[in-house]
Amino acid sequence: MKIRGIRFIQLRERNTLRNQIFISFTLTIILVLTFAGAFIYGEVSVLLKNSAEKHIQQTAIQANGRLDALLKQVDSLTTQIAVDAYVQKLLSREAEGSRSNFNERQSLLQIANNYMAYSSGISSLELYTIDNKRLFPLDDSSLNRISGDALAAADEKKGRLAWIGIDPRSPDTVLAVRRINLLDHAYSPGGYVVVRVNRDYFNMFASDSADRSEARESMLLSDSEGNPILSDMNDETAQAVAAQTGSTVTVGGQRMLAVRQHSDVTDWKLVMLLPVEAATEGISVLRTAIYVSIGIAALAFLLLTLLLSTMITRPIQQLMRSMRSARFGGLKPLPATRNPLRTMEINELNHTYNRMVTHMNELIQVVYEKEITQSRTELKALQAQINPHFLFNTLEAFYWSLEEKEESELARTILAMSGLFRYVIGSAEAHEEWVTVRDEVEHTRRYLQIMKMRLIDRLHYEIDAEEELLHVPIPKLILQPLVENAILHGVESRIGPGSVTVRIRSSLPGLVMISVSDDGAGMDAETLARLVQSLDAAAPQASKKGAGVAMFNVQRRLKLHYPAVSGPSGGLHIESKPGAGTTVSFEITMTSKGEALL
């Protein structure tokens, strides 16, 4: 137990800020470098893989373009044969029942040789009538040697070339069939032209086969059924590759990247393959470089962290010793020192501590004075306290008495006074300082009713408030003083009738605009400037009618509860022109009262 206690004490003595900074920074940089290395390694791997995919994608696109060019060459050749005038004439006579003689069929040899001379890949060219009679070459073979599916494919193309695939009777050739439509017989079927093309004709990489071999790329060209037409692999492996989907395939246990292209002419598929290992060559070198970089960076950071932690903690320890001495002599500012080895932040910390001490001493004095003032205020409040229930009950008794005497108008005035007093001298608890806009509007409405009773036809008022804003919290008794000021200086200063308008509207997002307007005599620019200056004064300046104190209190409460909205030039905003009346407005936030107090 004694040895364990000694170890605990030693561990606690080593738990210093310097060691914490050193260990925390060291662990942080190791984690950061590890994650950065792993991220870079992964990103570079993906980049190499994407680069390889783009390369073989470009190769596949080029190969597919070459394939389409070869296919279009054969398609153009068979089109020329199908529309040849002599072929059309011969097949038209066959369709009419007139059989071609030997010399007429022999003439097809020269036509076929002329067309075949334009393409080295065609191994044979055959011409059949619609009733399966072979016109060229010169023998009596019928069209039955071609499958019914091939004929159906040719008929479905309606005169376009139909690529059938590998010729079953000649595996080294690819079979294509085109139905010949007779131009002079409303494009009715007249026969078929059959073309056999050597499989080597579709080798799109004859010129760059050495480059592809060096890059370890493989190619597969298969028909719509997945049968290989041309491939660098054996037929069994090629069929297995054609059956697989996805960006990677497995060939002989090796994972390879696969890029596929589709020929719209023949519905054939071209697949370019590249081993995954070939696409990510150089990763091992990158891994070693990352490990070495992490080690060097970690070692350099350790040394810098040790130096930085020493530079930070040594001045702080000196400041801590100075602050401990304040416990014995009270809060005293530190003596001003200028140490060139201290950083700007440490010097600012000393300066901030001195300002904090000065400010705390001032706060202590203010709190002491406020405690004395509060005690005196509570004593005066106890001396002037009355029972509000007695006042409310008395006013309600007046109300029922007037109702019995059918003095309805006077009774409503008494009821408005009861609500007015209940609102003003209600509970003094902290939460009663905040009410909703609806409560404040109702209180203002009761006040206007009482003033209407006194001024009769000289006062007209209007309260226009948006319904969705009535739930917004607002400090209690913030609106009625402005209405009272409007009546005092606006309506009563007129010889004839006057009006007061209260409007509550949405302002900017999250803000509510409240304005009180009157149509009184208004103020000139000089009077308005004095009024605005008195609102921002340190103490209220009462006017002859005593309205300055109310406006001053409203201004201070707005800036107290809404500092973010008010700002240095916020609070009450007054607009007035001589003969046009006065408008007093302010903005509040649509927040809860807890947020507003903050």
Q: Are strands 498-506 and 459-465 parallel, antiparallel or unpaired?
A: parallel
Residue-wise pLDDT for 266-292, tens only, equals: 778 888 887 776 666 666 677 777 778
Residue 464, pLDDT score: 92
Q: What is the dihedral of CA 196, 200, 205, 209, to 10 degrees?
A: 180
Q: How many helices (H) and strands (E) does the chain have?
A: 19, 17
% the chain with pLDDT above 70: 71
Judge contact between 221 and 268, C-beta under 8 A. Answer: yes
Residue 504, strand partner residues? 465, 514
> Tokens 């901030």 — which residue?
352
% the chain with pLDDT above 90: 7
Residue-wise pLDDT for 394-412, tens only, equals: 666 666 666 666 666 666 7
Hey, is 170 helix, strand or coil?
strand
Q: Greatest CA separation found in the chain?
A: 142
Mean pLDDT of 566-572: 63
Can you give 448-498 as a three-state secondary structure string? HHHHHHHHHHHEEEEEEECHHHCCCEEECCCCHHHHHHHHHHHHCCCCCCE
Question: Over 80: is that where the pLDDT of 578 sits?
Answer: yes
Question: Over 70: is that where the pLDDT of 376 sits?
Answer: no
Full-model pTM = 0.42
- Least-confidence region, from 120-129, 196-205, 428-437, 556-565: 428-437
Residue-wise pLDDT for 232-257, tens only, equals: 777 777 777 777 777 778 877 777 87
The amino acid occupying position 532 is: V
Residue 594, pLDDT score: 41
Backbone φ and ψ for 353, nearest 5 degrees, come out as -65, -40
Mean pLDDT of 319-337: 61
The length of the chain, given as a count of residues: 598
Backbone φ and ψ for 356, nearest 5 degrees, come out as -65, -40
Hey, is 199 helix, strand or coil?
helix
pLDDT band at 518 (very low <50, low <70, confident <90, very high): very high
pLDDT band at 15 (very low <50, low <70, confident <90, very high): low
Of the two residues 518 and 159, the one the predictor is more confident about is 518
Question: Over 60: is that where the pLDDT of 144 sits?
Answer: no
Question: Over 80: is that where the pLDDT of 302 sits?
Answer: no
Distance, CA of 518 to CA of 498 (rounded, Å): 7
Residue ranges of alpha helices (H) inside 325-387 are 326-329, 344-383
| Tokens (6 digits) for 201 | 């004709």
pLDDT band at 5 (very low <50, low <70, confident <90, very high): low
Average predicted confidence (pLDDT) for the chain:
75
pLDDT band at 77 (very low <50, low <70, confident <90, very high): confident
Question: Over 70: is that where the pLDDT of 431 sits?
Answer: no
Give all strands of the β-sheet with 134-136 in edge-to-edge order.
134-136, 122-129, 188-198, 170-182, 162-167
Residue 385, pLDDT score: 47
Judge contact between 556 and 549, C-beta under 8 A. Answer: no
Q: Are strands 218-222 and 269-275 parallel, antiparallel or unpaired?
A: antiparallel
Q: Which residues contact 312 (CB under 8 A, 6 or more apart)?
A: 17, 18, 21
